[in-house]
Amino acid sequence: MRRSNSRLSFEAGAVLIHVAIALLGLVAFSAFAVDYGIMWVSRGQVQTAADAGALSGALALSFDSGTDFAGAKEKARAVALANAVFGAPPDVQLADITFPPCPPGAPGVADTCIKVDAFRNQTRLNPLPMFFGRAVGIVDQGVQATATAQIIAGTMTDCLKPWAVIDRWDEFNGSEPDWPTSDPDPDFDSNSTFDRYSTGQGNAPPQENDLYVPPGPSTTGTGFRLPLDEGRQFAVKTDTNTNSTVSAGWFRAIRIPRLDGQTGGNVYRNNITSCGGLPNGYWVPGESADCPTDIGNDNAAYWATQGCYGTEPGNMVGPTSQGIGDLVALDSGASYSPGTGIVGSSFSPATSSPRVVPVGVIDINYFMSQDPNGANGVLKLVNIFGFFIEGMGEVNADGSMELKASGKAVIGRIMTIPSIGAGSTLQAQSSFLRQVILVR
């Protein structure tokens, strides 16, 4: 019996050894499953924080101010900190947000990258906890991540307003054109008239050698551009929907195809107060199809993607004023502050305000050389800029603008605006449509 008891004791001791070994394995496995799992979950979360911060900073540079780098840093940091890493904010200091050269081959606008580094580690005194790892002397662990976002030029919008305005030109001053040596042309103001095609008859001024060069892949053209025209006050003169006197802000009403299929008399105002829902682009040399001589309702949607639009005849002052009143009422507290952007908006981000709209500019040489008449005229947009609507108003004799409910011009500010398409080949300075992407 004593021999049997000794044997049982020996076997019990062997079992304890196996249990101890198994417990060590279980602790090691638990450390791997729990502590390592915490690290990998947190790694994804800190990457999300860095990504969100970089995108937010790029959005601020795209749509708030292209030169307010300090403001972009603050917004990038605030968004990064709002993304918790294992229940706590990561450490992101302003010094961790930089504006490095964009990576080689990045598809966006050159020198428009913002980089954010985010940390939750021992160096920044906010490490991740270890639970089972403490059994082997490891008390904490850390993660960090980096993200780089870039601004990319856009190509299309789905909410184009039915105004095609003349772009800026080089005003003839009696000698050689100022373009491209002067930027912008000092002779151009809100009352300048484009007289290259003028007949000089009636009240029209005599013909002058005014010069217009549209933007393209190899030139910024004479038109509006960034950053010079960010926040520039501009007037769409809704009582000049004719070819008689073409002045700055002159416009031609255009037909915007709508997803709901609306046509007829009310579609012009509806295109002011709501989005058509179909993609609208601009014409790019060497890329877009040549515009036809006529565009009907059945093919308007296709030609809108190529930057070609049919025109609408008639006086548009009444419907425009009513539509602008509707838009302003949707965000009545918003205003534009030069150098800051939109302030007081009830929409977040402010660029989503219904008062921020896309407006197309036309190749005036193409339009005037055709001298289109009636609803069958065709023009081509060569750019689209964002426009914060301040309200109806007037352009005074000295070129200044004032808001006035009874005015016959839409007063607003030129700005960048989000795009639904990317990959524009326009020169970066000429492109007001913007997207942001992660490039690293």
Which domain, by its residues, includes 63?
2-153
Are residues 230 and 174 part of one domain?
yes
Same domain for 189 and 121: no
The pTM score is 0.81
- Both 69 and 174 in one domain: the answer is no
Residue bearing the bigger pLDDT, 266 or 272: 272
- Is residue 274 located within the same domain as residue 307? yes
Domain boundary among 126, 153, 180: 153
**372 pLDDT higher than 60:** no
- Domain limit, last residue, from 125, 153, 181: 153
- In this structure, the answer to whether residues 181 and 36 fall within a common structural domain is no
Model confidence at 374: pLDDT above 50: no
Q: What is the mean pLDDT of the chain?
A: 85
Q: What percent of the chain has pLDDT over 70?
A: 88
Same-domain check for residues 83 and 173: no
The CA distance from 415 to 432, in Å, is 7
The string of DSSP letters for 365-376 reads HHHHHH---GGG
Q: Locate tokens 């076997």: which residue?
A: 11
Task: Render pLDDT for 269-309 as a digit per residue (tens, 0 to 9).
Answer: 899 999 999 999 998 888 888 888 888 888 999 999 999 99
Does residue 392 share a domain with residue 263? Answer: yes
Q: Is the confidence at residue 124, as pLDDT, over 90?
A: yes
Residue tagged 């929409």 (tokens): 347
Boundary-marking domain end, from 109, 134, 153: 153
Confidence of residue 18 (pLDDT cuts 50, 70, 90): low
CB distance 128 to 142 below 8 Å: yes
Are 305 and 404 in a shared domain? yes
Residue 175 in tokens = 């000698």
- Is the peptide bond prior to 227 cis by the omega test (within 30 degrees of 0)? yes
174 and 120 in a single domain? The answer is no
User: Are both 163 and 36 inside the same structural domain?
Assistant: no
Looking at the structure, tell me whether residues 148 and 166 fall in a common domain.
no
Total tally of structural domains belonging to the chain: 2
| C-alpha dihedral, 312 to 316 to 319 to 325, nearest 10° | 120
Same domain, 129 and 260: no
